[in-house]
Amino acid sequence: MQRPVEKAPSARGSRGESDRTSHADTGSAGEIVAQFEIRYTRFLDENGRAVRELPAFARDPDVMRPIYEHMVLTRALDRKAVALQRTGQLGTYPSSFGQEGTTVAIGAAMARDDVLLGTYRETGAMLFRGVRIAEILQYWGGDEAGSDYRGPGAPRADFPICVPIATHAPHAVGVAYAMKLRREPRVAVCALGDGATSKGDFYEALNGAGVWQLPLVFVIVNNQWAISVPRSAQSHAETLAQKAIAAGIPAEQVDGDDAVAVYQAMRNALSAARDGAGPHVVEALTYRLSDHTTADDASRYRSADELERRRALDPIARLRSHLERAKLWSEADERRLEEATAARIEQAAAEFLALPPPPPEAMFDHLFAQLPEALREQRDALVAAAAAHRAETVSGEEDGQ
């Protein structure tokens, strides 16, 4: 399993002549022309105690309380979604259990006008950015309309979740290119997993972002497992962050279960990108406490011991402990949040369950801006066949009564 690299080779990238001179005498292996380092940052230990001086925002209730509340909300939504799936009311669902610190901090650090391009495990970021709970359930219930974010303040320019791995990384380059071309103070954020860093798409995107110095922040959400393949089998690189170095992009590792560390790294990277300093890569070291999806059984490939060890690092308990210590949160707050969260989830689930099924012709009606003449006959045939099938089903049910 991947261990945080806290002490990496320490020389800075040497770009100037003076550096070259200072490294010149390295024997027969030749002179060192470039050296790099990857730093790892954590503010809160597993008990929520500060291990270094905290940034000011870590004591700001306006920043920290919404992060904590959305982490709790994300977990509650995951629980509800899994329960709905187990009772046949939702399709296959990928839980973010264990990754709430990372996913919520990503969403919290972004500005409204930034664009998120994420995977199916960025539910926390989506919630923070204004995607409605009922929309997320509608999507996983099998209706694409759930990706037509329509809530108040919805992130209308965000990409729908990316299902194939890393194929959205090049999209982020295009989004960021448009922002830079139009001189807009906006940033694209591309979140992807440890497995995604093995794909060429990721490298092509990193490379493009580096060449054009785009306002683009990649977050590698390293949850240690790509379905059944552990981080150790995914890459021999000490860190995944260092893959950015090949593209000339600064990169760092953070403790992904420490929301303060993720938020800090994201804020800095976003602010630098917004100011024209170019792209950045943040590798957040976290852990997928759930199965890959409801269709997966992780006990087939990972040990109960490992899972138990990682449960102890729970990002939610960790942040709560910090907030309580900093007097930003109380037992009463927690009770209120539990009740409010449960009510929100139940209300959203009820809304989701009451949704009518999408009309069959929806599969034609959003394929092109205008239905091509060539498809009209097929659409008509579908509508007729679906109506006949429904009529038959209804009359069958009536006969049965």
Q: How many helices (H) and strands (E) would you count in the chain?
A: 14, 8
Least distance from C-beta 37 to another protein, angstroms? Answer: 25
Determine the interface stretch with another protein among 16-24, 204-212, 265-273, 303-311 (rule: CB under 8 A).
Answer: 204-212
Q: Which of 39, 65, 171, 274 is close enough to bind another protein by CB under 8 A?
A: 171
Binds another protein by CB under 8 A, chosen from 52, 86, 156, 309: 156
Residues 325-364 as x/- pattern, contact with another protein by CB under 8 A: -------------------------------------xx-
Q: Which of residues 183-202 bind another protein (CB under 8 A)?
A: 188, 200-201
Region near another protein per CB under 8 A, out of 16-24, 167-175, 343-351, 385-393: 167-175
Q: Please say whether the beta carbons of 255 and 285 come within 8 A.
A: yes
Q: Would you give the distance in Å from CA 133 to the centre of its chain?
A: 16
Provide the 10 A C-beta neighbour count for residue 282: 32
Q: How far is the CB of 172 from another protein (least distance, A)?
A: 6
Do residues 323 and 59 make contact, with C-beta atoms less than 8 angstroms apart? no
Contact flag: residue 178 with another protein (CB under 8 A) = yes
Would you call 267 a catalytic residue per the annotation?
A: no
Instruction: Round to whole Å and give the CA distance between 180 and 174.
Output: 10
Site of tokens 């579908």: 382
Which of 179, 262 has the CB closer to another protein? 179
Interface residue with another protein among 354, 368, 398, 401 (CB under 8 A) is: 368
Interactions with another protein, residue window 100-119 (CB under 8 A): 115, 117
Q: Among residues 300 and 368, whose Cβ is nearest to another protein?
A: 368
Q: Smallest distance from the beta carbon of 140 to another protein, in angstroms?
A: 14
Among 61, 164, 185, 276, binds another protein (CB under 8 A): 164
Residue of 288, 310, 318, 320 with catalytic role: 288
Closest CA relative to residue 259, chosen from 104, 65, 30, 72: 104
Q: Are 289 and 229 in contact (CB under 8 A)?
A: no
- Residues 36 and 324: their CA atoms lie apart, in Å, by 39
Sheet holding 280-285, edge to edge: 40-41, 251-255, 280-285, 216-222, 188-193, 115-117
Among positions 37, 91, 159, 317, the unique one binding another protein when judged by CB under 8 A = 159
The per-residue DSSP string of 307-351 comes to: HHHHHTT-HHHHHHHHHHHTTS--HHHHHHHHHHHHHHHHHHHHH
Active site residue 288: yes
- Tell me: does residue 276 bind another protein (CB under 8 A): no
Which tokens sit at 109?
């650090």
**CA pair distance 253, 395, nearest whole angstrom:** 61
Binding residue for another protein, selected from 137, 187, 205, 273, defined by CB under 8 A = 205
Establish if 211 lies at the interface with another protein (CB under 8 A).
Answer: yes
Largest CA distance in the chain: 92
Contact flag: residue 366 with another protein (CB under 8 A): yes
Gyration radius of the chain's alpha carbons: 24
**Nearest C-alpha neighbor of 171 from the set 232, 126, 221, 214:** 214
Nearer residue to another protein within complex by CB, 163 or 227: 163
**Element housing 253 (H / E):** strand 251-255
Query: Which residues lie below 8 Å from residue 250, measured CB to CB, with a gap of 6+?
Result: 244, 280, 281
Of the two residues 10 and 370, which places its CB atom closer to another protein in the complex?
Answer: 370
Q: Please, what is the minimum distance in Å from the beta carbon of residue 323 to another protein?
A: 36
Site for another protein in 214-233 (CB under 8 A): none
Q: Does the annotation count 23 as an active-site position? A: no
- CA-nearest of 212, 293, 280 to 39 is 280
- How far apart are CB 84 and another protein at their closest, in Å? 22
Which residues carry out catalysis? 288, 292, 301
Residues that bind another protein (CB under 8 A): 115, 117, 144-145, 147-149, 156-157, 159-160, 163-164, 167-179, 181, 188, 200-201, 204-205, 207-208, 211, 362-363, 366-369, 372-375
